[in-house]
Amino acid sequence: MLFKVFPVCELNRLFAVLQSERIVGPVKKGEDQHGRILYDFDVVRDFSDLHLDFTQTIHSAKKYFLPYRENLCTFTFKDGDWQKEVDYGGSAPLIFFGLHSCDINALNKLDKVLLGGRYPNSFYAKNRAKMFIVGHSCTPQPFCFCKSMGTDSAIHGFDLFLTRLDGIYFAEVLSARAFHLLENIDCRDPDSEEHRRYLEAIATRESMFVAHVDTSDLTKILDLEFQAPVWKEWGERCLSCGTCAQVCPTCYCYGVEEHVDMNFAHGRKEKMLYSCNLLDFASVAGGHNFRPESHTRLKYRYYHKHRGFVEAFEESLCVGCGRCGQSCLAGITVPEVIASVRASKE
């Protein structure tokens, strides 16, 4: 990794150099009922719309590489039979400008399943191959527990990562493209004083985390507490709305629907992101539902994140971004659920 510094005023030029491609970044999206600004990822055409001082976006960035709806293939009835066509096309090149460490680590985790797993996803691979990622440091919010999940800093999965210091950006450069990009602006190597200021900024940020999840021996505890009554208590609160999965940067479960046109000449198979908390997630042909109760569905979401994924990849699928807890109308948060399970006594 290389380190560079450049004046804050140069960021506008960096943005302009990248602007020949589609740029997605954090933008303002109104206010909540307490007057707090809401942010979300969107296409940014004007530098002044980019808000790198954002707290957290409502949704993750996943809709740009794991769309909520995606055509898997189309069918045409021709010469007495169905002809199948698959287009892995992928989206146009995409610049992510301002991803926080948690969201970069979320992408790294999705890569493990969707690129490196037993069944690589060609649609995802096409989208992923065309990305350029500019990360940006964050100010920990009261609901962020990424530090507990080991995702509070990103060491790979980006091209350029920016930390704002007084008057300058301290840049971590990971790719050749990022290195050459910086040749377009007034940029230089940092001096020892700037190294010191950068390390000081990291230490200050580290001290700002409030929320915490105790992950020690968590997989064993989840195995031991599979039948704990506390799961039913959370299940009674859960509305089975599926919001948590929709805002989560690492939830990738999906359903598949087949549609046939009324003239029976064309059809398509469509994939849509789904949530394991929705009532019919575990319903199968014949009408049987393997998880008819909300607590079993909620429990399995936690077991996938904090138990099954750890067994498969030796890391949790949760990056501690806190979005699910922030969006949940029932006020269900990961730190509270895990703490209650750890404290369970049957």
Would you tell me which residues interact with ligand SF4 (CB under 6 A)? 238-244, 247-250, 277, 298, 305, 318-324, 328-330, 332, 334
What letter does residue 9 receive in the DSSP assignment?
Answer: G
Q: How far is the CB of 315 from ligand SF4 (least distance, A)?
A: 12
Question: Could you tell me the maximum CA-CA distance found in the chain, to the nearest angstrom?
Answer: 75
Residue closer to ligand SF4, measured from CB, 75 or 145: 145
**How buried is 178 (Cβ within 10 angstroms: 0-12 exposed, 13-18 middle, 19+ buried)?**
buried
Give the residue with the Cβ less far from ligand SF4, 110 or 185.
110
Q: 255: closest CA among 277, 285, 275? A: 275
Indicate the residue among 143 and 158 with the shorter CB distance to ligand SF4: 143
* Beta pairing class for 160-164 and 266-273: unpaired
The total number of residues shown for the chain amounts to 346
CA distance 110 to 115: 8
Of the pair 103, 225, the CB lying nearest ligand SF4 is at 103
In the complex with ligand SF4, the residue whose CB is nearer, 230 or 332, is: 332
In the sheet that 2-7 helps form, which strands lie side by side, from edge to edge?
2-7, 168-173, 160-164, 131-136, 94-99, 22-31, 37-43
Least separation in angstroms between CB 132 and ligand SF4: 23
CB of 117 to ligand SF4, least distance (A): 18
**DSSP helix, strand, coil percent of the chain (3-state; round to 5):** 35, 25, 40
What's the rounded Cα separation, in Å, for the pair 284 and 76?
28
Shortest reach from residue 325's CB to ligand SF4, in Å: 7
Query: Least distance from C-beta 330 to ligand SF4, angstroms?
Result: 4
Least distance in angstroms from the C-beta of 219 to ligand SF4: 16
18 burial level (CB within 10 Å; 0-12, 13-18, 19+): middle
Burial zone of 71 (CB within 10 Å; 0-12 exposed, 13-18 middle, 19+ buried): middle
**Closest separation in Å from C-beta 217 to ligand SF4:** 19
Q: How far is C-alpha 168 from the chain's CA centre?
A: 28
- Rg over alpha carbons for the chain, rounded to the nearest Å, is 22
Is 136 or 305 the residue whose CB approaches ligand SF4 more closely?
305
Question: Which has the closest alpha carbon to 17: 180, 187, 188?
Answer: 180
Specify which residues 267 forms β-bridges with: 75, 260
| Nearer Cβ to ligand SF4 (60/137) | 60
Closer to ligand SF4 at the Cβ: 190 or 325? 325
Separation of alpha carbons 336 and 346, rounded Å: 18
Q: Which is nearer to ligand SF4, 158 or 302 (CB)?
A: 302
Q: Please report how close the Cβ of residue 99 comes to ligand SF4 at its closest, in angstroms.
A: 14
- In the numeric block, the tokens 């287009």 are attached to 87
Instruction: Specify which residues 269 forms β-bridges with.
Output: 73, 258
Q: Which is nearer to ligand SF4, 140 or 320 (CB)?
A: 320
CB of 230 to ligand SF4, least distance (A): 14
What's the min distance (Å) between Cβ of 283 and ligand SF4?
Answer: 16
Task: Name residue, tokens 């990291």.
Answer: 202
